[in-house]
Chains A and B, each alone.
Chain A
Amino acid sequence: MSTHTNDYVPHAPGYVDNEGPKVVTSRFPYEDSFTMERSLATGGYEGLKAALAKSPAEVAQEVKDAVVLGRGGAGFPAGIKWGFMPNIWPRYLVVNGDESEPGTYKDRLLMERDPHQLIEGCMIACYALGLNQCFLYVRGEMPLAHERIATALNDAYAAGYVGKNVMDTDVSIDIVLHWGAGAYIVGEETALIESLEGNRGQPRLKPPYFPAAKGLYYQPTIVNNVETLANLPWLMVNGAEAYKQMGSEASPGTRMLAVSGHVKRPGVYEVEQGVVSFRELFYDDNFCGGIRDDNELKMFIPGGGSAPWFFEDQLDVPMEGRTVGAAGSMLGSGALVVMDETTDAVKACLRVVRFFARESCGKCTPCREGTSWEEKVLQRILDGHGRPEDIDLLLEIGSNISPGTYPVAAFGDEGLEAVPFPPKQTTICPLGPSSVAPITSAIRRFRDEFEAKIDASSDDAAEPVGAAAGGH
């Protein structure tokens, strides 16, 4: 039955099959996990079958009861998000497979290694919401994911799991594979929708705040992350009660976490939410097995490039959205980047800031101008042309994008009580404010490193900033 022609391509590596319950990675140990045969031999489309035996409202309630938190970054409960949809048709589902947050490596694995699970999850969501059509937006730079999903969709259409009269019922739902073309900002819901409409991928002015009310073609639209939807087949087969047996009360289930950087065994791990701490993840033999060369930990990013940094002090925080948020950062997209004592804080900070400067869509002035000035000033400090006032200048630029005290863990208690995360913003979307997180984190905790670089700067510090920074 399968039409796959691409099995010569090696799997996306990095997955580590550790101990513990598995929801979304259960097929990963199989070399042929992406094929229809393997999927069907291991319970594939049983979740869709179970869903079709219920009413759409019951399926939606099950997702709500299970408290399936969004795995894309914001961690908002999918069931509640679905409830925002007004009774207006047509309505659409858009799957966000535009994974590109620095450090994030999980959705590509799910798309390449188990596309049928994702398709099944999409079908369950479409059924619950009464949708005819779903668009699966996959990042352009992931051609293997395209091939695997296209093959899986062709097979699933032929076998009657997608399309007209799904599994011999009257239910009819189309899934269309759509591909992006390289723009991080398209991960923002309204930018994703603009891109899917064939436009420049710039976020929309708010209000309307929620695509659930006005999204694709200004119709009700749900945007869900790949991993979120991949949870649904298991949930439908096993039920909300079983789902809530895993993880913590506030954050049931598991999460895929990609640990990169200076650990002995970097990898993608599926772990129960809120049960494992950062310390266990980084140091236990079941996970990363410690910092490389047994070096000291200097800092780590707990949830992708946009997240304020964590330090030794936060190692015992349980890994779930609520606790990480209370500690001054976010679990975001499950991207953990570990940096040991050999890391140059200014250099690391510059690299993350540079990302936001390059990816700013240019719509809002504070972000377009601010992120590039942040990059230029940091570059000047790193190049040995820093000025004493540069540290305050960086903080001031940041506060023009994201006013007020920025609640990063590096501030200690004083910062945390000032404002909740996420911070205020002078921009339409959180991209600009995200560039402030590494700056405030690094300056607050490693101000001496900035000062040392500035003190060592040469006499030609008066060189214009543009000339020092070059450009890109």
Chain B
Amino acid sequence: MSRLNPANVTLAHEIISHYPKKKSALIPLLHLAQEQDGYVADDAMEHIAELVEVTPAEVLGTCSFYEMFKRHPVGTYMINVCTNIACQLMGGEELLHHAEETLGIRPGGTTDDGLFTLEDVECIAACTEAPCLQVNYRHEYRLSTDDFDALVADLRSGKRSDIPAHGTLGTVRQHIPADRRAGIRHPDDEGTPAWFASRQPAES
């Protein structure tokens, strides 16, 4: 769809300023693009390439490696069902099959109304609460098939306003005030920090 909007360009420059090298901001900026559009658009990747001063091919190279970056629009709600070992033991695969039947799609597919995308995912770090899933990366725990149906009904009727749109990660961002920054050290910027040198015992 689009390049980063002006507000996100400002944000992008702030994110880039956290790193000794601009390219380190690449993944956070891809998340920013995905937050803006719900997926990572080609134009956004070109824009990011300009911002971090690499080629668009390098941005695509990084983007295509990571599972979370979607290069095409997905449903409003992405439902990621875990079927890894801890969840499998507690019915994760049965939960996935139920989700397939209920939504009428296979993993990777999106419902015709554009509301749901289903994914069969690996361990999402909630193993004691199996079987579990995430909706736009928000966890739901110990789900029965009835729980799943209730969740889908709530999502359809808009009752889950706590779940932001796909692409939004943390709703709080780190901001480092200019007067509070220690200051980044570029790899070429040699020299021991003064505070460290002065606090080390003198070598005999």
Interface residues of A (CB under 8 A from B): 3-6, 8-9, 12-14, 55-57, 87-90, 99-105, 107-108, 130, 132-133, 139-144, 146-147, 149-151, 153-154, 157-158, 163-164, 169-174, 176-184, 195-202, 217-219, 258-262, 266-268, 301, 305, 335, 337, 339, 343, 347-348, 351-352, 355, 358-359, 361, 472
CB distance from B170 to the nearest CB of A (A): 3
B194 within 8 A of A: yes
CB distance from B111 to the nearest CB of A (A): 20
Say yes or no: A200-B65 contact (C-beta < 8 A), given A13-B129, A103-B127, A104-B123.
yes
CB distance from B105 to the nearest CB of A (A): 15
Q: Is the CB of B182 within 8 A of A173?
A: yes
Q: Is the CB of B67 within 8 A of A183?
A: yes
A149 to B175 Cα, complex, angstroms = 12
A280 to B172 Cα, complex, angstroms = 41
Within 8 Å by CB of A100, from B20, B80, B89, B122, lies B122
Say yes or no: A102-B85 contact (C-beta < 8 A), given A9-B162, A140-B169, A147-B170.
yes
A457 to B125 Cα, complex, angstroms = 36
CB distance from B31 to the nearest CB of A (A): 6
Q: Is the CB of A217 within 8 A of B182?
A: no
CB contacts (< 8 Å) of A132 on chain B: these are 182-185, 193
Q: Is the CB of A13 within 8 A of B141?
A: yes
Flag B22-36 by CB within 8 Å of A: 1 or 0 each: 011111101100000
Say yes or no: A140-B127 contact (C-beta < 8 A), given A150-B170, A197-B24.
no
Q: Is the CB of A89 within 8 A of B190?
A: yes
> Residue of B at shortest CB range from A88?
B190
Say yes or no: A55-B123 contact (C-beta < 8 A), given A179-B27, A181-B27, A181-B31.
no
A130 to B198 Cα, complex, angstroms = 11
Interface residues of B (CB under 8 A from A): 18-21, 23-28, 30-31, 52, 54, 61-62, 65-69, 80, 83-86, 88-90, 120, 122-130, 134, 137-139, 141, 162, 168-177, 179-187, 189-196, 198-201
> Residue of B at shortest CB range from A349?
B85
Q: Is the CB of A172 within 8 A of B67?
A: no
Say yes or no: A130-B192 contact (C-beta < 8 A), given A141-B134, A181-B67, A337-B89.
yes
Q: Is the CB of A172 within 8 A of B195?
A: yes
CB contacts (< 8 Å) of A343 on chain B: these are 89
CB contacts (< 8 Å) of A143 on chain B: these are 137-138, 168-171
Within 8 Å by CB of A104, from B20, B127, B137, B192, lies B127
Known: A182-B68, A198-B23. 20 other contacts (CB 8 A): A4-B172, A6-B171, A56-B199, A105-B125, A132-B185, A141-B68, A143-B168, A143-B169, A153-B174, A172-B183, A177-B174, A182-B67, A260-B89, A260-B128, A301-B85, A337-B86, A337-B89, A348-B88, A351-B84, A472-B120
Q: Is the CB of B134 within 8 A of A164?
A: no
Q: Is the CB of B127 within 8 A of A260?
A: yes
Q: Is the CB of A198 within 8 A of B90?
A: no
CB contacts (< 8 Å) of B195 on chain A: these are 169-172
CB contacts (< 8 Å) of B123 on chain A: these are 100-104, 305, 355
User: Interface on chain B toward A: helix, strand, loop, or mixed SS?
Assistant: loop
CB contacts (< 8 Å) of A266 on chain B: these are 127-130
A167 to B194 Cα, complex, angstroms = 17
A153 to B170 Cα, complex, angstroms = 13
A347 to B89 Cα, complex, angstroms = 10
Q: Is the CB of B27 within 8 A of A195?
A: yes
CB distance from A7 to the nearest CB of B (A): 11
CB contacts (< 8 Å) of B89 on chain A: these are 260-262, 337, 339, 343, 348
Q: Is the CB of A157 within 8 A of B85?
A: no
CB distance from B27 to the nearest CB of A (A): 5
B52, B67, B177, B194 — most chain A CB neighbours (10 Å): B67
CB contacts (< 8 Å) of B175 on chain A: these are 154
Say yes or no: A141-B85 contact (C-beta < 8 A), given A89-B192, A90-B189, A147-B172.
no
CB distance from B6 to the nearest CB of A (A): 23
Q: Is the CB of A200 within 8 A of B62?
A: yes
> Residue of B at shortest CB range from A163?
B180
Q: List 23 A-B contacts (CB under 8 A).
A: A6-B172, A14-B126, A14-B128, A89-B191, A102-B85, A103-B86, A133-B185, A139-B125, A141-B68, A141-B137, A143-B171, A157-B180, A164-B183, A170-B194, A172-B193, A172-B195, A173-B182, A181-B68, A182-B69, A195-B27, A261-B89, A337-B86, A351-B85
